[in-house]
Structure 1
Amino acid sequence: MKVGKLIMMLVCLLATTNLFAQSHSDDIIGIWETEDKDGRMEIYKCEDKYCGKLLWGKDIVEEDGVTSKKDVNNPDDDLKSRDLVGITNLIGLKYKKNGEYTEGEIYDANSGKMYSCLIKLKGGDMHMRGYIGVPLLGQTVIWKRIK
């Protein structure tokens, strides 16, 4: 076999492998709801990473269930008047492998703090872990996909 043909076959194989990995990385994209059905988030692609925005939640809307609360706990005074519904609160997630996403950050509107975040997709559920420092020092919340 000529060297040129061999190189072309290797390039095609690598490209196919990369496309296959890419399709699995997008498995996280969609609308998710907490197990307790008290919050919804949409996860989407933002450049080569993944982000999430708040769609609804019992802690981010007023008692009428519709009107958005404001981001009053944000340390940035310029952001305290923004609506919580629709904010991007999850940024920078990178797909690693086998349904694992790392290096993200998640904003907790109740405290006004950012936490490190990692996600694992398991059996159709999303296990989101927010933490400070190391994942062992964190909390995991399970989300279900809304179809």
Structure 2
Amino acid sequence: MALGPEDAKGRWLSADGGAVIEFKPCDDKPTALCGRIVWDKDAGKANDTCGIQIAQLDRYENEAWRDGWVYDPRDRKKYKGALRVKSGDLYIRAYIGTEILGQTEQMKRVADLPATPVCKS
């Protein structure tokens, strides 16, 4: 079955299990895909990342979202980005320059947010 741009939409648990990111059309650019942290294991603490937008990818082509940026809250830097879904998992790639020179994080789809802690934003 061929994948399409809709497959990336939804909630995804980060590789370390510390955050859930929701991908959906951007509020200010509905043809683009945005990702925002909707659950953080550190919610309510000084270092929580609740509500932070971590991606905006403007174009879907060749089974991947691209032409935008991803933000890594751990190092507080923006990178070029690409996102694709394969075998039911989401792969988000952050890179500088060319896509081959980057790092990929694999995420698992989740239906519901963990009950606690709760993001306030």
Normalising by structure 1, what TM-score?
0.64
The one of the two structures with greater contact order (alpha-carbon pairs below 8 A, sep at least 6) is 2
Look up the match of 1:50: 33
SS of 1:129's partner is strand
Which of 38, 46, 51 pairs up with 1:69?
46
Alignment root-mean-square deviation, CA? 2.2
Q: Which moved more, 1:118-127 or 1:86-95?
A: 86-95
SS of 1:136's partner is coil
Which of 93, 104, 114 pairs up with 1:129?
93
Do the aligned partners of 1:33 and 1:41 also contact (CA within 8 Å) in 2? yes
Do the aligned partners of 2:83 and 2:92 also contact (CA within 8 Å) in 1? yes
Q: Distance in 2 between matches of 1:131 and 1:111?
A: 13
Which protein is richer in helix relative to its size?
1
Look up the match of 2:15: 35
Q: Which runs of 5+ in 1 are unaligned?
A: 1-20, 71-82
Cα shift readout 1:53-93 (whole Å, capped 9, x = no counterpart): 012334xx2xxxx31535xxxxxxxxxxxx63112121134
Identity rate of aligned residues, in percent?
A: 31
Do the aligned partners of 1:29 and 1:43 also contact (CA within 8 Å) in 2? yes
Look up the match of 1:119: 83
Which protein is richer in strand relative to its size?
2
Q: Does 1:89 pair with 2:69?
A: no
Q: Distance in 1 between matches of 2:46 and 2:38?
A: 12
Look up the match of 2:69: 105
- Deviation (angstroms), 1:143: 0.4
Q: Distance in 2 between matches of 1:68 and 1:93?
A: 32
SS of 1:26's partner is helix
- Deviation (angstroms), 1:108: 1.5
Do the aligned partners of 1:69 and 1:85 also contact (CA within 8 Å) in 2? no
Q: Distance in 1 between matches of 2:100 and 2:62?
A: 20
- Deviation (angstroms), 1:35: 3.3
**Runs (4+) off by over 6 Å:** none
Aligned length: 107
